[in-house]
Structure 1
Amino acid sequence: MRSIKSRFLAGLASTAIVLAGAVAAQAETWKYAFEEAMTDVQGVYAQKFKEEVEANSDHEIQLFPFGTLGESADIMEQAQAGILQFVDQSPGFTGALIPEAQVFFVPYLLPAKSEDLGDFFRNSKAINEMFPELYAEQGLELLKMFPEGEVVMNTKDPVEKPEDLNEVKFRVMTNPLLVESYKAFGATPTPLPWGEVYGGLQTNIIQGQENPLFWVESTKMYEVTGAITLTGHNNFTTAVMANKEFYDGLSDEDKKVIQDATEAAFEHILEYQKGLSEESLAKIKEAKPEMTISDLTEEQRAPFKEAAAKVEAKFIEMTGDSGKKILDQMKEDLKAATQ
């Protein structure tokens, strides 16, 4: 009797081991790279995404902040090749792959304040229906786009009008439309990898760059510049993507885990950004009291807005009918979200 019972218990133990092995085999480690530090906006989003995925599945998310896997171009190549499962990258860099994504760099299209953009990013037909098809053509599953904060000009000398940018070598991302924007503003646009920007400002190879205030503060760009100008010309947008082959191969259950984590991280990052620009500006003033901070009036912004019309025309010229449809749809979506 004891022998039969022993064999029965041994059989149960073997079955449990097999089942445990099957569950363990399904659990995977997914790699996620982004363009900022862990404490910056993309890093905060990524950590919330990781927390949600790991709380609701057996999978683990391994995070790779800026610099650990190379520059922006490197992590995009790795995502497309399937080495990375997830990547967070601004349309500023994907503009070369997806020209229509440059729409996010048409000056004065997006409101500068992130609080005005939550409903737009949640409900925009352009973002949630039109862009996913374009990203899919590049082997990417577009999961979410979100705002990161008002873009400011960060320069050696104060800027109050386009003429102040004459002969200023202004660092831009490798984005054709951003080049056109700073040409229209009167500067000499100079594409440069992010890793070379601080040194470029320090040695006067360049005299300006643009980014949200939290990034100017966290990367200490204020140390090698003398002025920050709020022109209200843009809000920095970023996009979270998955390798499409990887994503399409997931179970419906895993896809839901990712979608739920994406939404939770989106709401979290909008809440996190409330007051972030003001807090960053206060830290910069404390660290460097002599920094010139200029918040341009509507009258001062008028010439920059006039120049923006040329950039919008250039965007349509670059992207044709496809770009115009997206631009028109975004204007409709923004009107609906901000009224």
Structure 2
Amino acid sequence: MMKPKHFKKLVGVSCFAVAAMGAASVASAANWRYAHEEYEGDVQDVFAHKFKEYIEDNSDHTIQVYRFGELGESDDIMEQTQAGILQFVNQSPGFTGSLIPEAQIFFIPYLMPTDFDTVVQFFRESEAINEDFPELYAEQGLELLKMYPEGEMVVTADEKVTSPSDFSGKKIRVMTNPLLSATYEAFGATPTPLPWGEVYGALQTNMIQGQENPIFWIESGGLYEVSPNLIFTKHGWFTTAMMANQDFFDGLSGEDQQLIRDASDYAFDEIIVHIDGLADESLEKITEASDEVTVTRLTDDQIEEFKARAPQVEETFIEMTGDSGRELLNQFKEDLEEATN
């Protein structure tokens, strides 16, 4: 079982209760509901409350924020958003990938840089993110308002890992994302999809031998307690997306639509400030809390061993997504080249 302090209890708000709150016309509701995937004070929670702050400071509307577990897991809150029960949702492409296959592009290893300034510039200016992705999300009844980075991905395991051969025989937890599974297969591991609520317990009982997440989430969820070997592979950044139910958004006045877009821009700017240095702070908290933690930063040569396996994941991505995925990948690479020059 997961330790109680790391497994937030459901607050008992059922989908039926939430639906009842939305009995009036959603389009004219003064109180809008927004669910995300993380705990109090984590990156998505900070983003949500900055969005809430802007909305409430600049209008008569209010925002009710629901954190992880309060309305279920990631799949649950997406279903509630598509059904119109929630107006806003924050969900990683790691889960959205089954709904929007092209969103899995963020899980192609070594496609994204890990330099902070380059990553931020890419998210601000990328044509793929700001023009192509909104069209893909719209096809699923979602108004994509903002994609943003949360932090560099870090692997934790039951022992140190410095090469793909070290992953042999290890079950590594992945989100329910086919391409992420392909990545860890390429890395030599056995990918094991699990919802977040089961991860701590599965590591504790050795049902799985590792997982990946941004370092702040490893600290927040206490994962280092049961998976103490941290490996910085530099294979990518964790990305997430904030969106609205499209019917709700389309039914708003032009003034309210602009308010929401402005609030999203404000929250993005604030979250970039928040995550700058967050990884170092979180790692310091982890090393202070546990003497068992080890930190391994792969050398350039060690990284090349993993990077050499990335092309096969790109091929899998194109097989999954066809011509649309190929075009998106080309645009993605073009945008990244502009961000790094």
- Give 1:134's aligned residue: 136
* TM-score when normalising by structure 1: 0.91
How far the C-alpha of 1:27 sits from its partner, in A, is: 5.9
Mapped contact 1:112–1:232 kept (Cα < 8 A): yes
Matched, 1:217 2:219: yes
- Give 2:146's aligned residue: 144
- Give 1:72's aligned residue: 74
The residue identity in structure 2 corresponding to 1:159 is V
Q: Secondary structure at the match of 1:240?
A: strand
Q: Secondary structure at the match of 1:142?
A: strand
How far the C-alpha of 1:291 sits from its partner, in A, is: 0.9
- Give 1:234's aligned residue: 236
How far the C-alpha of 1:269 sits from its partner, in A, is: 0.4
Which portions of structure 1, spanning 4 or more consecutive aligned residues, are displaced by more than 6 angstroms?
A: none
Taking only the aligned residue pairs, the percentage that are identical comes to: 62
Q: Secondary structure at the match of 1:293?
A: strand
Matched, 1:56 2:63: no
Instruction: Within 5 Å, give how 1:120-269 maps onto structure 2.
Output: 120-269=122-271
Instruction: Within 5 Å, give how 1:46-125 maps onto structure 2.
Output: 46-125=48-127
Deviations 1:97-138 (A, max 9, x none): 100000010001111233321221111111111111110110
Q: Give the Cα–Cα distance (whole angstroms) in 2 for the partners of residues 62 and 195 of structure 1.
A: 23
Mapped contact 1:150–1:235 kept (Cα < 8 A): yes
Q: Specify the structure having the higher radius of gyration (Cα).
A: 1
The residue identity in structure 1 corresponding to 2:228 is G
The residue identity in structure 2 corresponding to 1:236 is F
How far the C-alpha of 1:309 sits from its partner, in A, is: 1.1
How far the C-alpha of 1:296 sits from its partner, in A, is: 0.5
Mapped contact 1:148–1:238 kept (Cα < 8 A): yes
Q: Give the Cα–Cα distance (whole angstroms) in 2 for the partners of residues 330 and 130 of structure 1.
A: 10
Q: Structure 2 unaligned runs (5+)?
A: 1-26
How far the C-alpha of 1:337 sits from its partner, in A, is: 1.4
Q: Give the Cα–Cα distance (whole angstroms) in 2 for the partners of residues 337 and 51 of structure 1.
A: 31
Tell me the C-alpha RMSD between the 2 structures.
1.0
* TM-score when normalising by structure 2: 0.91
Q: Give the Cα–Cα distance (whole angstroms) in 2 for the partners of residues 124 and 55 of structure 1.
A: 30
Q: Structure 1 unaligned runs (5+)?
A: 1-24
- Give 2:31's aligned residue: 29
Deviations 1:8-64 (A, max 9, x none): xxxxxxxxxxxxxxxxx9661000000001200000000100000001111000000
Q: Give the Cα–Cα distance (whole angstroms) in 1 for the partners of residues 170 and 298 of structure 2.
A: 19
Q: Give the Cα–Cα distance (whole angstroms) in 2 for the partners of residues 180 and 119 of structure 1.
A: 28
